[in-house]
């Protein structure tokens, strides 16, 4: 029940395209869902996060869509750029914000 | 405003040795969480410190211990190192139950 399942494992997108990464969770006690971006040799950087009281949140080219009934959430990267090439992790947290991470998606944006 | 800092950057130890990793949280943050990230995997929660006490613990053996100081900085200690302890160790800081910001990590190699 503590798992967060993330897909796909890897993704190749053309410059200017839309990158979509999906996550699913089981524990209904989760109430905080962040996305992190990680470059090789660096720590994860917080991109955007959502709580279950809204179904969508947008910050610049990054959008989280959240489906509470399906226990799924996704990250959309619009107008993907080569600089977006990185590993993306979804995560889920509860009241004390212990984060459970997905397994990661390696995104490659081709110029 | 300095972000989360960690030291050392890299560390090489041999099996059976002990190691201490250090973390300074982002200014204004009072909660420190430690994560272990094996190569190609998502971060795994080790434990969390708040008000100088361990508040939560993940599924890690007692060989992993920690401490938080009055200035909110923290240490992670690992005793009796195993080859499987080789990983990137990440520190994340936050205010209680809010967004977590990660440091660059310490790369530990156990030979």
A49: nearest CA in chain B? B99
Encode pLDDT of B52-95 as tens digits.
999 999 999 999 999 999 999 999 999 999 999 999 999 999 98
| Residue of chain A minimizing CA distance to B33 | A98
**Alpha-carbon gap: A111 to the closest alpha carbon of chain B (Å):** 25
pLDDT digits (tens, 9 = 90+) for A54-110: 999 999 999 999 999 999 999 999 999 999 999 999 999 987 778 999 999 999 999
- Report the residue from B42, B55, B103 with minimal CB separation from A96: B55
- Report pLDDT for A86: 98
A32-64 burial: b if 16+ Cβ within 10 Å, else e: bbbbbbbeeeebbeebbbbeeeeeeeeeeebbb
CA-CA-CA-CA torsion sign (B98, B68, B23, A38): negative
In tens, the pLDDT along A21-55 reads 999 999 998 999 999 999 998 999 999 999 999 99
């Amino acid at each position: 029940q503590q798992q967060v399942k993330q897909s796909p494992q890897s993704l190749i997108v053309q410059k200017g395209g839309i990158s979509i990464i999906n996550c699913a969770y089981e524990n209904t006690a989760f109430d905080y869902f962040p996305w992190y971006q990680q470059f090789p040799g660096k720590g994860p950087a917080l991109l955007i996060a959502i709580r279950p009281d809204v179904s969508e949140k947008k910050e610049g080219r990054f959008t989280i869509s959240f489906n509470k009934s399906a226990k799924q959430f996704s990250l959309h990267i619009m107008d993907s750029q080569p600089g977006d090439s990185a590993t993306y992790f979804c995560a889920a947290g509860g009241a004390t914000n212990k984060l459970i991470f997905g397994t990661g998606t390696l995104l490659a944006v081709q110029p | 405003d300095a972000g989360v800092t960690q030291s050392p950057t890299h560390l090489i130890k041999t099996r059976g040795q002990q190691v201490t990793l250090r973390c300074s949280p982002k200014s204004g943050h009072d909660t420190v969480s430690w994560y272990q990230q094996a190569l190609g995997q998502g971060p795994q929660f080790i434990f969390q410190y708040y008000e100088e006490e361990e508040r939560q613990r993940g599924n890690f053996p007692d060989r992993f211990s920690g401490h938080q100081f009055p200035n909110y900085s923290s240490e992670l200690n690992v005793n009796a190192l195993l080859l499987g302890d080789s990983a990137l160790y990440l520190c994340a800081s936050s205010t209680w139950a809010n967004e977590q910001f990660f440091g660059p990590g310490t790369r530990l190699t156990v030979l």
